[in-house]
Amino acid sequence: MRLSVLDQSPIPEGSTGAEALRNTLDLARLCDELGYHRYWLAEHHGGVMLAGPSPEALVGPVAAATERIRVGSGGVMLPHYSPYKVAETFSVLSALYPGRIDLGIGRAPGTDPLTTYALQRDRRQAAPDDFPQQLSELLGYLEDALPANHPFARLGATLPGRPESPELWLLGSSAQSAIWAAQLGLPYSFADFINPEGAEIARLYRERFDPGAGRLQAPRVSVGVWALCADTDEEAVKLAASARMAMAMLRRGQPIPVPPVEKAVRWYEAQGKPVETEAGLRNRRMVLGAPATVRAGIERIADAYGAEEVILVNVVHDHQARRRSYELIAEAFGLPAAADRAAAA
């Protein structure tokens, strides 16, 4: 089973977005050394908790800072963009880092309605919900396969990175995204950390997968899992309090940077909700604990999805604790590079 990373570039309280982005580069270098398979950058707009609104701007610096790991978007929220511009951008990246660039495409806005409106170029009316058409157009450019009578037919051949091209994935957390991925014969990445009831959706994708689309001979599934590892179960659960508080405040419409652990613990205690001590699959959206606990939880989710790859995501206040989490998980799964690194240390 492959292990990969989705980085949302969290902004710790008392820090800045600029520092969060530098932490992204640092974590990417570490994960490259540890032997993770790919490193994806998320897209979120207009918030104070996450510093990654432009994965297309981060992919290049991350690829330049690493040597082996695949780098891509997790994902580009296509409704905000011109399909042709996305194709051009990732064509350039593919030329500069051949065989290493992924283009993960999503449909969600990645923000609130007001910020979505601010992202629109034409604000005279709401943008149309035409994601399937956008996705088909994007594929047409990347594969130089638009119909001859299409007004933009010649543009696919002009992409500057040819013959290199990104590996395209469809991201989702609903049955509709699974159906589109299956119909188009695309690899599919499901966000279990958003919707922990997705095993049946992954099964739907496999059942409806069309190899006749000519892109993959068989379905490919990865699953995004929120996982945080520490030396003990108790420490991991405590570290997760920061993200849990930040998300609770976001749901209240009061977004905050990622708070320190001690502040988050006090916040929960003040509400009569002490931080739980149970680890593992405590609420299925978070896998928390010591290495053995986290490995068991990750394997259980991967097995439920029939996934050949797990993409790990977490939000932690302390960057060193975040680094340590990915080190421990790599060692727990016996990634060769992590084992060599640990032996050298």
| CB contact set of 103 (below 8 Å; sequence gap of 6+) | 72, 73, 75, 76, 86, 90, 142, 166, 167, 168, 169
Q: Give 69-119 pLDDT, tens digit per residue.
A: 999 999 999 999 999 999 999 999 999 999 999 999 999 888 888 888 888
| Confidence band for 285, pLDDT divided at 50, 70 and 90 | confident
Range of the domain at 127: 2-226+295-344
Work out the mean pLDDT of the chain and round it to a whole number.
93
Please say whether the beta carbons of 186 and 168 come within 8 A: yes
Question: Any idea what DSSP says for residue 156?
Answer: G
Asked whether the predicted pLDDT for residue 236 surpasses 90, the reply is yes
Query: Do the domain assignments include residue 248?
Result: no
Please say whether the beta carbons of 327 and 5 come within 8 A: no
Query: Do the domain assignments include residue 232?
Result: no
**Given its phi and psi angles, is residue 167 left (phi above 0), alpha (psi -120 to 50 degrees) or beta?**
beta
Q: Give 26-57 pLDDT, tens digit per residue.
A: 999 999 999 999 999 999 999 999 999 999 99
Please give the angle made by the CA atoms of 89, 218 and 92, to the nearest 5 degrees: 10
281-to-174, 218, 221, 231 alpha-carbon distances in Å: 21, 30, 21, 17
Looking at the DSSP assignment, which residues form a beta bridge with residue 106? 77
Residue 25 sits in a domain whose CATH number is: 3.20.20.30
Q: Which of 113-117, 282-286, 324-328 has the highest mean pLDDT?
A: 324-328
**151: closest CA among 89, 77, 84, 105?**
84
In whole angstroms, give the CA distance from residue 207 to residue 187.
Answer: 14
pLDDT for 278 equals: 46
Asked whether the predicted pLDDT for residue 280 surpasses 90, the reply is no
Q: The pTM is what?
A: 0.94
Please say whether the beta carbons of 307 and 221 come within 8 A: yes
Query: Do the domain assignments include residue 243?
Result: no
Peptide bond into 75 cis (omega under 30): yes
Query: Do the domain assignments include residue 88?
Result: yes
Strand, coil or helix: what is 123? coil
Query: Do the domain assignments include residue 287?
Result: no
Query: Do the domain assignments include residue 256?
Result: no
Q: How many domains does the chain have?
A: 1
Query: Do the domain assignments include residue 238?
Result: no
In whole angstroms, give the CA distance from residue 286 to residue 263.
Answer: 20
Asked whether the predicted pLDDT for residue 290 surpasses 50, the reply is yes
Q: How many CB atoms sit inside 10 A of residue 6's CB?
A: 24
Helices 83-96 and 131-142, axial angle in degrees (round to 10) = 40
Asked whether the predicted pLDDT for residue 284 surpasses 90, the reply is no
Q: How many CB atoms sit inside 10 A of residue 82's CB?
A: 13
Query: Do the domain assignments include residue 87?
Result: yes
In whole angstroms, give the CA distance from residue 111 to residue 130.
Answer: 18
